[in-house]
Structure 1
């Protein structure tokens, strides 16, 4: 009696020198975790390579430890993948700024908390932050994906808080809230980049 071995059930090693690691298969309901890992990998690769054309779906898949088709289960194409990387980064930054702005206290103290939230985000999410602030040279984004801009939302939170300070008398009333917001954003960004 001869025995047959089902080689499909054995773990196949990665190709030598591929740099890929085998990812533990996600359990049902863990697709969001894989999606987040994909977006993190895209941000890292954009920073490393400097341009979206130098980042392939295959490279993203290899970085995460999945096959290229697994990427397409979460993103329709490369443009959507890069756009979502930027969008979700700005959404998280906006959320953090909104939370800091919604706290109690004088406007100046809330602006300080917003600055700290911005810096914390930049330090915790380094690659994604670099992509957001430099554009990661993601190229043009299809118009249908640009319905609302979470980057503008993050900036609008800052403008709104400064406007509140002007209206409450905490800041001089001859100040342009947008110009002040640009100055504050630039100062905090500069501190992060040091």
Structure 2
């Protein structure tokens, strides 16, 4: 190509057409979905930029501000969306359980596996500084449901009677620690997460161990 030939610009993402009237909610959902994907890749809410989210969706950065005032507002919406999906997944996992112990086991195993499969989101959910700036009380429902699941095991006589809130907190602390340490110290000789979670259930809740 000689010097007189104009340089060809690198093609970027195809420009997105304007949403028809009434489809603002769809764009809102697409922005949140893009933020979820990027947060899982970045594992850091401070590294997320609204411009990157806009590129992911294929819109102008100014369009993001129509739906979210700032990055914190978008990250908060993305995390709340994750929690809603996680609650649905837990409900589905528990729905096939034959008794309260099986339900608690399914719930705990799913939560541990989710953290392992979505390490970036897990870090942002539990290790970011966002909760110092914004209300993240939507996370409380998961804790309350775990406490209720522990209580059902006790009420059915399948676990020793104790304070279900304390036992639930112990269990959640153990599972969170197991997942978090795996993410931050992957070089350690970790046992299978499923086996470790099963030991937590047996030792902390007092349910009978699974038969080999």
Per the shorter chain, which TM-score range?
0.5 to 0.7
Inter-partner Cα distance in structure 2 for 1:55 and 1:188:
23
Closer/same/farther in 2, CA of residues 187 and 49 from structure 1, 3 Å limit: closer
The higher-RCO structure (CA 8 Å, 6+ apart) is 1
Of 153-162 and 175-184, more deviation after overlay is shown by 175-184
User: Are positions 1:177 and 2:158 aligned together?
Assistant: no
Count of residue correspondences: 171
Q: For each residue in 1:151-193, what CA deviation from the matched residue of structure 2 results, as whole angstroms up to 9, or x when unmatched?
A: 22112211210111012211122572332344456678845xx
- 2:66 aligned partner: 73
2:67 aligns to what SS in structure 1? coil
- 1:130 aligned partner: 119
Where does the alignment leave 5 or more consecutive residues of structure 1 unmatched?
A: 1-14
Where does the alignment leave 5 or more consecutive residues of structure 2 unmatched?
A: 1-7, 181-192, 195-212
State the TM-score, normalized to the length of structure 1: 0.67
CA RMSD of aligned residues (A): 3.5
- Give the Å deviation of 1:55: 2.4
Inter-partner Cα distance in structure 1 for 2:111 and 2:63:
33
